[in-house]
Structures are given as structure tokens and as C-alpha cells.
Amino acid sequence: MCTKILISRIVSYFLFRKYKVYIDKTIELGTQLTPKFDANGLIPAIAQDAKTGEILMVAYMNREALDYTIKTSCGTYYSRSRKKLWKKGEQSGHIQKVSQILVDCDQDCIILKVAVDSGQCHTGYQSCFYRALKKGTAEQLEFVAEKVFDPDKVYPS
Amino acid sequence: MCTKILISRIVSYFLFRKYKVYIDKTIELGTQLTPKFDANGLIPAIAQDAKTGEILMVAYMNREALDYTIKTSCGTYYSRSRKKLWKKGEQSGHIQKVSQILVDCDQDCIILKVAVDSGQCHTGYQSCFYRALKKGTAEQLEFVAEKVFDPDKVYPS
């Protein structure tokens, strides 16, 4: 009896492994968009300038934001702080025009190739990544970009 | 008595708001690296080719992986599936040489500008983002890159 259970468990294990490999291959090498949202229903999305390659920002999308982005070609996210759909540029008017949507191998991250007509960071910089770690230090940042707009004029408090 | 409590609450609210604005400004416009790890102790990190601007992969770092990357200038992550430090290239020998580490405004995302001598995706592509959504469709992916190595030779099963 014990041998029967053991054999059954070994068979189940190998069948599960084979099934997992099949599922992984389908996700990784298939042509069906099956985005993997996390436990909070979100997937990270990188907005990258289609022309220069500069990474402008990283935000999160829920299913609704992704569908809206696909439908409208306007970069749309889910604001985790405001807990609602966030159409980028809805306040400033400077939207992200999406020319291409890429997905990674395990479909848990998205890139939006975008065209923008203004700085994308609420602090006034073109990109949110305006600081770099200073060479030879472990914690010291230095600014590597110049402001391109005055945030107090665009987002008055 | 009620008026006193009300006034005290209003004062607390405005003091808290002022304190929050101060903290946000320090994180956003300061020169101290204070990475915001999530509830699982992780922060997303994007590896971007320093020369071409191509986004190669997105993975996660814990404190140890970030410290190791800063110390060694070799792209190092935390593998969520294997639950351990993941020195990129430890199996294949093709490491990521980090030339710059950037952080975003709210310090919850990192970019590693890297030089690589081989494809970075375990599926055989240069970048993990080798598929794009087909124009005019909502779910149909198309391959937009060619394989640069044979994964079966690099990662034999």
C-alpha cells in the first residue's frame, strides 16, 4: 500500500513539473497577452521615451488601467496613494502618447514606449530618475538632470 | 471641552501634513539614498543597457542585493522564486557590469545602467522584453526581437 502511495506521489510530482514547464513555456513563448497581476491586482509599468530611450517613470497598472491604455493609447495607471485610476496628464494636459506596449518573459512587467511633450516628474524633471549614486559612495546621491518645468506652476498647492 | 479637542485635532492634522510634506521633500529632493523597500523587503530594479538605452530586464532587490551591487558593481538581485540572492551571471558567467545606479523621486525604484556581453533573458533573447502588443489588438503579442543565444546550451536542464 505504502509503495502504491509513493509511486502515485512520484508520478503526480513529475506530472505537475511537466505541466508547470508547459504553462511557463506558454507564458514565455506564446503570443497571448496574459499579464500577471500581483496580490494587489497590480503590475509595474515603465514609461520609456520612444525616441531617446530615457526611462521616464515607473508606476503600477491594474486591469482597468491596462485596458484603458490599450484602448486609448494614453498612458494610464492606478494611483496607489489616491486609490484610483490615474490618467497621466489629466491635470497638466501633458499626456503620454503610447506607440508600443512591450511585455517581459514571465509577463509580470510592462513597458510603454511613449512620446511626451513635457517633463514627466511632478518635481519638475523630465524623468523621475534625476539622481544617481555618487561614485565611490554607498548612500550619497547627486543630481544628474536639470529641471524642465516649474512644478509650483503646474501643480499649485 | 469639545472645542478644545476639535482645535487640538485640527492643529495635529496640519502639523502632520506639514511634517509629511517635509519628509516627502527630503526623500524627493535630498541627496541621501533612502530606498523604500516594500512590505516584502523588496524594491524593483531595472537593468538598462548603458550604451543603447535598451531595457534588458526588471527584477527585485532586497537590502543585501542592493548593498552587494553597490559594493561589487555587479548587478545582483533577490530571486523571489528561489528565495535567495541572485548574482546575475553566476551560472552563465555573463555578469552585468554596473556603471551607474539611479533612483526615482520617491525612492521606490532603481535603475542599473549596465554593460553586458551576452543576452540577458533566460529564454535566449538580449532583453526580456522581446514581445509587443500587435497594433489594433487587445491581447495578441508579436515577437519583436531575435534570439541571441541558445538557452539549452547555457542552462542545461
Residue whose grid cell is 551576452: B118
pLDDT tens across the length of chain A (157 residues): 678 888 888 877 777 777 777 778 889 999 999 999 999 999 999 999 999 999 999 999 999 999 999 999 999 999 999 999 999 998 878 899 999 999 999 999 999 999 999 899 999 999 999 999 999 999 999 999 999 999 888 776 6
Q: Domains in chain A, start-ordered, CATH in brackets? A: 1-28 (no CATH), 33-119 (3.10.20.810)
- Among A120, A117, A75, A129, smallest CA distance to A100 is for A75
* pTM metric for this prediction: 0.88
- CA–CA separation, A124 vs B87, rounded Å? 35
A144 touches B at CB < 8 Å: yes
Q: Which residue of A has its CA nearest to B127?
A: A104
By C-alpha distance, the chain A residue nearest B122 is A105
Q: Does A33 touch chain B (CB under 8 A)?
A: yes
Place of cell 516649474: A150
Closest to A45 (Cα-Cα) out of A27, A22, A68, A25: A68
Q: How far is A110 from A92, CA to CA, in rounded Å?
A: 24
Best to test chain B binding among A23, A102, A107 (most B CBs inside 10 Å): A102
Minimal Cβ distance to B33: which of A58, A129, A141: A141
